[in-house]
């Protein structure tokens, strides 16, 4: 397969082999969120955004595994580095305090591991003074540990603040912060003391025009709830404010400058640690390394995962517990390959200037999507290659996802009636042209779907 000339080529999805694999998988797998009609064949050709399925269909993948494969498939920008090593068994490192070395000197090590990944993460977070990392296995664990760090730092705290529409993971701790869909949380026990405030509903809003109820000319809901006059929460007792700088699962919701400035100001003024969940939005997806970098806020803790292949809680050393064994994880940092892939991904972003590429390819995609927008499109939005198209109804959105898939373009829904597009960070102009033109054909084809709510 040649990425420069590849095109989607499908003969009907799901094909018979995919149906067999899905049925086999479903025999023993607990029902989960997604049931893709496409099954990637890891023995067949794939390059960047192009992938071959078990029936030989070639697809253009604009999901990047929800950002967990930020450079698509078999990308030489990371693969060449991996191939240079005569790798040993990709063992799991048992115990957070055990790590591997490769040769006598970490500075000259050819094989990066979890120690190098932590160094890279602190380099890209230096503007926030962050110098310390705790590695774990998943996004949820990265957020859980951020909560623990914040509570350890403020032992008397009884409260935390989260935002409407949020998604922070599926462990019991993170579900207490997750406010997007009730299917995630129904009947599960909640951590006490989590206060919920609205998340911005209009990315251009000001205090005068705020539509979500968060901002008003007399101050924000967050600020009023903490006020000595009339508030019901003592700021001294608040361990953290946690937010996704751009909401993912909740619908690719981009907050306004005014909203973010106020969240940052309250965190500063009341000395409440601000945890930013960058699990979907981080590692270059938005054209900055962290989505928080777009806004006037100063995060105290960053939770990352997905594109890193491991979970990471990043902060300043003074916030982390000094006591040994306060945090821990048997497999924190993943296996030998996990941390290495995370390190190579950060290096690829830097060596190939992929932040700039994400910004320019994102601009290209937004322009094309806006120019070609059908009447059913309510909004086209995005930063870098974290892109979204919102439709008039959920039925229309679902029809577009299906029409795109039948043409060989993989997309993902989010929120109630939005499609998210996450092309690889090194997407080319041709790939964006191709993907958007297929997407616009799909929107046209779905145009006749009855617009029911």
144 binds ligand PLP, rule: CB under 6 A: no
Least distance from C-beta 137 to ligand PLP, angstroms? 8
305 binds ligand PLP, rule: CB under 6 A: yes
Residues in contact with 173: Cβ distance below 8 Å, sequence separation at least 6, in sequence order: 140, 143, 144, 147, 191
Mark the segment that binds ligand PLP (CB under 6 A) among 133-141, 179-187, 397-405, 414-422. Answer: 133-141
Query: CA nearest 48: which of 445, 354, 267, 325?
Result: 354
3-class secondary-structure state, position 260? helix
Least distance from C-beta 138 to ligand PLP, angstroms? 4
The first and second tokens of residue 292, run together, are 């928080």
- Please name the helix (run of DSSP H) or strand (run of DSSP E) that holds residue 78, with its range, or none: helix 76-83
Q: From the list 200, 222, 249, 260, which residue makes contact with ligand PLP (rule: CB under 6 A)? A: 249
Please report the beta strands in 215-361, taking only residues with DSSP state E, as ranges in sequence order: 238-243, 274-277, 301-304, 311-315
169 binds ligand PLP, rule: CB under 6 A: yes
CB 58 within 8 A of CB 8: yes
The smaller minimum CB distance to ligand PLP, of residues 159 and 167, is found at 167
Least distance from C-beta 248 to ligand PLP, angstroms? 4
159 binds ligand PLP, rule: CB under 6 A: no
CB 436 within 8 A of CB 49: no
310 binds ligand PLP, rule: CB under 6 A: no
Distance CA 167, CA 183 (A): 12
Q: From the list 15, 49, 139, 164, which residue makes contact with ligand PLP (rule: CB under 6 A)? A: 139
Angle at which helix 336-351 crosses helix 354-371, to 10 degrees, equals 70
The smaller minimum CB distance to ligand PLP, of residues 377 and 422, is found at 422
Mark the segment that binds ligand PLP (CB under 6 A) among 113-121, 136-144, 289-297, 431-439. Answer: 136-144
Residues 26-85 that bind ligand PLP (CB under 6 A): 66
3-class secondary-structure state, position 246? coil
Size of the site for ligand PLP (CB under 6 A): 15
Q: Which residue is nearest to ligand PLP (CB)?
A: 139
Q: List, edge to edge, every strand of the sheet that includes 386-391.
A: 377-383, 386-391, 418-421, 412-414
280 binds ligand PLP, rule: CB under 6 A: yes
Distance CA 335, CA 37 (A): 30
163 binds ligand PLP, rule: CB under 6 A: no
Q: From the list 71, 279, 304, 354, which residue makes contact with ligand PLP (rule: CB under 6 A)? A: 279
Q: What's the half-sphere exposure (Cβ side, CA atoms, 13 Å) at 184?
A: 21
Least distance from C-beta 439 to ligand PLP, angstroms? 22
**Residue 197: exposure state from Cβ atoms within 10 A (0-12, 13-18, ≥19):** buried
244 binds ligand PLP, rule: CB under 6 A: yes
138 binds ligand PLP, rule: CB under 6 A: yes
Q: From the list 140, 312, 386, 399, which residue makes contact with ligand PLP (rule: CB under 6 A)? A: 140
Q: From the list 277, 300, 335, 403, which residue makes contact with ligand PLP (rule: CB under 6 A)? A: 277
Residues of this chain that bind ligand PLP (CB under 6 A) = 66, 138-140, 143, 167-169, 244, 248-249, 277, 279-280, 305
């Amino acid at each position: 397969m040649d990425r420069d000339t590849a095109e989607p080529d499908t003969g009907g999805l799901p094909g018979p082999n995919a149906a067999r694999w899905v049925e086999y998988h479903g025999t023993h797998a607990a029902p989960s969120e997604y049931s893709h009609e496409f099954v990637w064949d890891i023995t067949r050709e794939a390059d960047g955004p192009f992938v071959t399925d078990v029936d030989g269909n070639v697809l253009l993948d604009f999901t990047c595994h929800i950002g967990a494969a930020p450079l698509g498939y078999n990308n030489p920008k990371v693969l060449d580095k991996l191939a240079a090593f005569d790798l040993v068994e990709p063992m799991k490192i048992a115990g957070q305090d055990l790590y591997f070395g490769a040769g006598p000197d970490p500075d000259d090590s050819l094989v990066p591991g979890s120690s190098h990944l932590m160094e890279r993460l602190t380099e890209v977070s230096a503007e926030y003074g962050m110098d310390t990392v705790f590695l774990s296995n998943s996004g949820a664990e990265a957020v859980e540990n951020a909560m623990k760090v914040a509570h350890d730092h403020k032992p008397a705290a009884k409260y935390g603040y989260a935002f409407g529409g949020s998604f922070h993971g599926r462990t019991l701790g993170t579900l207490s912060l997750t406010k997007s869909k009730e299917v995630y949380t129904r009947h599960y026990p909640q951590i006490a003391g989590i206060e919920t405030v609205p998340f911005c509903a209009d990315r251009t809003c000001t205090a005068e025009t705020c539509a979500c109820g968060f901002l008003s000319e007399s101050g924000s809901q967050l600020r009023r709830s903490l006020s000595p006059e009339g508030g019901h929460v003592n700021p001294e007792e608040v361990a953290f404010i946690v937010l996704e700088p751009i909401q993912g699962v909740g619908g690719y919701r981009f907050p306004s400058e005014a909203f973010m400035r106020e969240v940052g100001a309250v965190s500063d003024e009341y000395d409440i640690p601000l945890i930013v969940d960058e699990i979907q939005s981080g590692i270059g997806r938005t054209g900055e390394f962290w989505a928080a970098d777009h806004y006037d806020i100063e995060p105290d803790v960053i939770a990352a995962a997905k594109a890193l292949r491991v979970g990471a809680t990043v902060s300043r050393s003074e916030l982390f517990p000094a006591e040994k064994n306060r945090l821990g994880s048997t497999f924190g940092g993943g296996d030998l390959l996990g941390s290495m892939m995370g390190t190579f991904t950060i290096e690829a972003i830097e060596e190939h200037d992929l932040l700039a590429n994400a910004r320019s390819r994102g601009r290209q995609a937004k322009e094309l999507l806006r120019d070609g927008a059908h009447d059913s499109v309510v909004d086209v939005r995005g930063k870098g290659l974290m892109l979204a198209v919102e439709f008039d109804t959920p039925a229309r959105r679902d029809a577009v996802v299906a029409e795109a898939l039948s043409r060989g373009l993989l997309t993902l829904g989010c929120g109630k009636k939005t499609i998210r597009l996450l092309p690889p960070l090194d997407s080319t102009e041709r790939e964006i042209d191709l993907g958007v033109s297929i997407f616009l054909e799909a929107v046209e084809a779905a145009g006749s779907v009855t617009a029911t709510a």
